[in-house]
Amino acid sequence: MMIEKRLCIVGLGLMGGSLGQALREHAAYVVGVDRHAATRRQALADGVVDFATADLSAALDQTDVLLLATPVKSILNILEQLPSLKPDGCMVMDIGSTKLAINETMSQLPPSFSAIGGHPMCGKEVAGYQAADPEMFRGAAFILTRSRRTTQEIEELALSIIKLLGAKPMFLSAQRHDQVTAAVSHLPYVVSAALTRAVSKQHEQALWQISASGFRDSTRLAGSDPQMLLDILLTNRTAVLENLQIYKRELEAVIGMIEEEDEASLAAWLSEAQRQHIAYRQEKDASG
Amino acid sequence: MMIEKRLCIVGLGLMGGSLGQALREHAAYVVGVDRHAATRRQALADGVVDFATADLSAALDQTDVLLLATPVKSILNILEQLPSLKPDGCMVMDIGSTKLAINETMSQLPPSFSAIGGHPMCGKEVAGYQAADPEMFRGAAFILTRSRRTTQEIEELALSIIKLLGAKPMFLSAQRHDQVTAAVSHLPYVVSAALTRAVSKQHEQALWQISASGFRDSTRLAGSDPQMLLDILLTNRTAVLENLQIYKRELEAVIGMIEEEDEASLAAWLSEAQRQHIAYRQEKDASG
């Protein structure tokens, strides 16, 4: 399948770079917008884009479909400028990590725009174009959130792109998306970062040498792009705080049980966590 | 290299089973002690042990070297019974997850025993003999803690075993071991379990379908054996609580920054975690 329209990918980092690499052979023409000159040079050298620029407004002139792959606040900023930058309108899809604020801003676009929100549930703890991987989306859930500007045309295009990526489309309201990802994605980011910070306070030369795969895996997310995380935490603040409070109560409960050496409660607390982990793994294995 | 002595491995779960499989071709005779009949049958069928029994005292009669691979409290229990079960003494090594309580109990053994504490820094989130893997120890740090009963003979045997496993020996005091592992190992266990419990409170049918590799990795440790974890938390209570308090302060700090939308502090908090993560990865990569 070929996308005959002219694509413009804004942000050629981990996510946008991966998107560009995955779509390359299926897209007639792609322009890449990125503020880093080294990234633009590399994407051009790789043949991932036909043209690379730091100037969004110049790129927009020749764009039919705009794919926004920057951190959330930058996506919001671009959406707000779009009506003046591209008065005739175009098709817009974003792949930002939170969806409610983006959805509201998308819905304010003039009717000349058709727009849909997207969020591929995949990633890596390494930021930047160098870490891009066209296979990253394969098998991942790709959430789509409809806005007031979602037309059948942009929805069909989004589904075609998701199919090309090998991901699994799933429609969810922006609000529900932000609630669920606050739990399964944003909370783990904060937990991993807090864990990395707490353990790094230890004064033992051989600390990292002693650490095993359990530490590696439970702190992996701490390596994620701080700007991406910052925008996530600030644009999904209420749901993230709710989940942090639920999490903090679990932590306080287990601290109390250890303090009081309440062996029976502690055993039940740990066993329930193991049971939930097994239930999660089974459902994950079953859904392939 | 062959171990010409008669080994007895107590506990043929994930760790003891892996130990047995790795040592099999290097040990003249191995008896396995496990309370689960199915595990005994399987270890015997695999040829990992020459004889399998649930009766430790019967096995001890014919044992030169006792390898203890059960949860910590069971190791302590066996060490306390050893003088009456084996009046003539023998060589003892354990691979329990905490070392201070074990070290103190080991030091109380009569001088007919020679004993050393050990802790291979590796594992899996799946418990039981089925998950055993003789390659699990390869490249891992294997901590040795000397007790009042440590002789040159048991130390040399321990180093030989570690060499056969492909692990890297590292001597540490029992106290320092428990302080460091409270941070790099025990804290991550609690954090993963609390995260699993908090997220499992979400009422969204597609919760696990939406979750990605970040959630998988940051919660993996929650699948660990609850009995092993219980014994860790109760026998390393002080150090674990200290680390939980340090961790809780990090969590409260970031909650406060999100509540107050303190963008500058939050950006600095996240960037420092990323920097620490990169430093950890670089040292880990350098130490191979």
Token pair in block for residue B216:
């998988």
B270/A226 Cβ within 8 A: yes
Q: What are phi and psi of A28, to 5 degrees?
A: -65, -40
Distance of CA A99 to the CA centre of its chain: 10
Q: Is B131 on the interface with A (CB under 8 A)?
A: no
Give the count of alpha carbons within 13 A of B64, CB side only.
12
The CA angle B168-B171-B177, to the nearest 5 degrees, is: 105
Question: Please, are residues A50 and A27 in contact by the beta-carbon 8 Å criterion?
Answer: no
Question: Please, are residues A150 and A115 in contact by the beta-carbon 8 Å criterion?
Answer: yes
Rounded Cα distance, B129 and B16, in Å: 8
A251/B248 Cβ within 8 A: yes
Res A286: pLDDT: 84
B70, B158, B74: which is closest to B116 by C-alpha? Answer: B158
B143/A270 Cβ within 8 A: no
Token pair 């390393």: residue: B236
Res A22: pLDDT: 97
Mean pLDDT of A82-93: 97
Question: Please, are residues B211 and A280 in contact by the beta-carbon 8 Å criterion?
Answer: yes
Q: Is B130 on the interface with A (CB under 8 A)?
A: no
**Which residue on chain A is closest to B207 by alpha carbon?**
A180
User: Which chain A residues have a beta carbon less than 8 Å from that of B202?
Assistant: 179-180, 183-184
Q: How far is A12 from chain B (nearest CA, A)?
A: 20
Res B178: pLDDT: 97
Question: For A200-255, how does the pLDDT look when each residue is reduced to its tens digit (9 = 90+)?
Answer: 998 888 899 899 999 999 999 999 999 999 999 999 999 999 999 999 999 999 99
A125/B273 Cβ within 8 A: no
Q: How far is A5 from chain B (nearest CA, A)?
A: 30
Residue B2: pLDDT band by 50, 70, 90 thresholds? Answer: confident
List of residues 6+ apart from B4 with CB closer than 8 A: B28
Q: Is B263 on the interface with A (CB under 8 A)?
A: yes
Res A284: pLDDT: 86
Number of A–B residue contacts, CB under 8 Å: 316
DSSP state of A32: E
**Cα dihedral value A181, A182, A188, A194, nearest 10:** 160
Token pair in block for residue B49:
């042990």
Partner residue opposite A234 with nearest CB, options B179, B222, B261: B261
A122/B188 Cβ within 8 A: no
Mean pLDDT of A128-156: 97
Token pair in block for residue B232:
């860790």
| Separation in Å, CA B68 to CA B20, B117, B119, B132, B155 | 11, 10, 11, 16, 15
Per DSSP, helices labelled H in chain A are 14-23, 37-45, 56-60, 72-85, 100-107, 152-165, 174-181, 187-199, 207-210, 213-219, 226-235, 237-259, 263-286
Q: How far is B22 from chain A (nearest CA, A)?
A: 19
The CA angle B256-B261-B266, to the nearest 5 degrees, is: 70
B14, B252, B277, B253: which is closest to B127 by C-alpha? Answer: B14
Among positive and negative, which fits the CA dihedral A267, B197, B182, B244? negative
Q: Is the pLDDT of residue B20 over 70?
A: yes
Q: Is the pLDDT of residue A288 over 70?
A: no
A183/B283 Cβ within 8 A: no
Q: Is A272 on the interface with B (CB under 8 A)?
A: yes
Res B125: pLDDT: 81
Q: What is the mean pLDDT of chain B?
A: 96
Q: Is the pLDDT of residue B118 over 70?
A: yes
A237/B194 Cβ within 8 A: no
Q: What is the mean pLDDT of chain A?
A: 96
Question: Please, are residues B203 and B231 in contact by the beta-carbon 8 Å criterion?
Answer: no
Question: Please, are residues B115 and B157 in contact by the beta-carbon 8 Å criterion?
Answer: no
Q: Is B54 on the interface with A (CB under 8 A)?
A: no
Q: How far is A159 from chain B (nearest CA, A)?
A: 17
Q: Is B208 on the interface with A (CB under 8 A)?
A: yes
Considering chain A, what percentage of its residues have pLDDT values greater than 70? Answer: 100
Q: What are phi and psi of A110, to 5 degrees?
A: -60, 160
User: Which chain A residues have a beta carbon less than 8 Å from that of B225?
Assistant: 274
- Helices B100-107, B226-235: axis angle to 10 degrees equals 70
User: Which chain B residues have a beta carbon less than 8 Å from that of A190?
Assistant: 251, 254
Rounded Cα distance, B117 and B98, in Å: 9
Question: For B199-243, how does the pLDDT look when each residue is reduced to its tens digit (9 = 90+)?
Answer: 999 988 889 999 999 999 999 999 999 999 999 999 999 999 999
Q: What are phi and psi of B88, to 5 degrees?
A: -80, -10
User: Which chain A residues have a beta carbon less than 8 Å from that of B143?
Assistant: 210
Res A222: pLDDT: 96
- Helices B187-199, A263-286: axis angle to 10 degrees equals 60
Q: Is the pLDDT of residue B287 over 80?
A: no
Residue B288: pLDDT band by 50, 70, 90 thresholds? Answer: low
Mean pLDDT of A117-132: 92
